[in-house]
Amino acid sequence: MRIDVVSIFPDYLAPLDLSLVGKARTGGLLDLRVHDLRDWTTDRHRTVDDTPFGGGAGMVMRPDVWGTALDSVLDDGAHLLVPTPSGAPLTQRTAERLAEEQHLVVACGRYEGIDARVAEHYRARPGVRVSEFSIGDYVLNGGEVAALVLVEAVARLLPGVVGNPESLVEESHGAAGLLEYPVYTKPPQWAGLDVPDVLLSGHHGRIARWRRDQALRRTAGRRPDLVAALDVAALDRADLAT
């Protein structure tokens, strides 16, 4: 998979040189290219923004600079992803779908955002899909943090990136849509607190059922909104497997 990220702060994406994503890049599993939007400016001041039509505070990112940049990195079949507070929520299901694609291009906006004609222009481009996405109901100073989240959420799903693919199965927001169960390790007693006995029992069926029950309780208690969307069939399949 190839991912291009375009930003006026390319150094914001430096964490993607580290850990699993960094290894995926050096191992050839992920072709990640980070670009400085200002490389596509033509004026002495390398201007990327201007005042908003209709007035209002702040500055808007220019469509001409973005157009030159995206024409340079987008190819047929690419998926243009634009982080924005007004976008569709990025979910694990979205990450799974994106991990199946060949080429993602992330356009990181700053200021008051990117001129709306940029997304409109590329939506009309045959062979290019455009998705505006949000990583949560809060406001950031720009799209770079959202780009970091998206790249990590997608890259870790690529074959060979995570050492043990099994560990992807029972995570929060997994196939059944549940939050993950509580986890414990040595020492068995810590700060006057014990590990649940069932986890020391060696009875794999009971352990699996306890974990499923904990995941259900957590999901109902912390994310009642997810309960309605639970994939009960996936739950049954998982329970049958224990």
Ligand X SMILES: Oc1ccccc1-c1ccno1
Select 110 or 211, whichever has its Cβ closest to ligand X: 110
Is residue 177 near ligand X by the rule CB under 6 A?
Answer: no
The label of the residue with tokens 């001129």 reads 115
Q: Which residue stretch of 61-69, 71-79, 122-130, 133-141 sits at the interface with ligand X (rule: CB under 6 A)?
A: 133-141
Q: No. of H helices and E strands in the chain?
A: 8, 9
Residue 34: CB atoms within 10 A of its CB come to 22
**Angle 176-179-180 (CA atoms, 0-180°, nearest 5)?**
100
Nearest partner of 151 among 54, 25, 38, judged by Cα = 25
The label of the residue with tokens 């099994």 reads 166
Is residue 143 near ligand X by the rule CB under 6 A?
Answer: yes
Is residue 232 near ligand X by the rule CB under 6 A?
Answer: no
Instruction: List Cβ<8 Å contacts ≥24 apart for 198-207.
Output: 204/242, 205/242
Select 107 or 238, whichever has its Cβ closest to ligand X: 107
Is residue 83 near ligand X by the rule CB under 6 A?
Answer: yes
3-class secondary-structure state, position 72: helix
| Pairing between β-strand 49-50 and β-strand 60-61 as defined by DSSP bridges | antiparallel
Q: Which residue stretch of 5-13, 61-69, 91-99, 140-148 sits at the interface with ligand X (rule: CB under 6 A)?
A: 140-148
Is residue 139 near ligand X by the rule CB under 6 A?
Answer: yes
Is residue 241 near ligand X by the rule CB under 6 A?
Answer: no
Q: Which residue stretch of 61-69, 142-150, 168-176, 202-210 sits at the interface with ligand X (rule: CB under 6 A)?
A: 142-150
Q: Which residue stretch of 54-62, 81-89, 197-205, 221-229 sits at the interface with ligand X (rule: CB under 6 A)?
A: 81-89
Is residue 94 near ligand X by the rule CB under 6 A?
Answer: no
Which residues contact ligand X by CB under 6 A? 83-85, 109, 134-136, 138-140, 142-143, 146
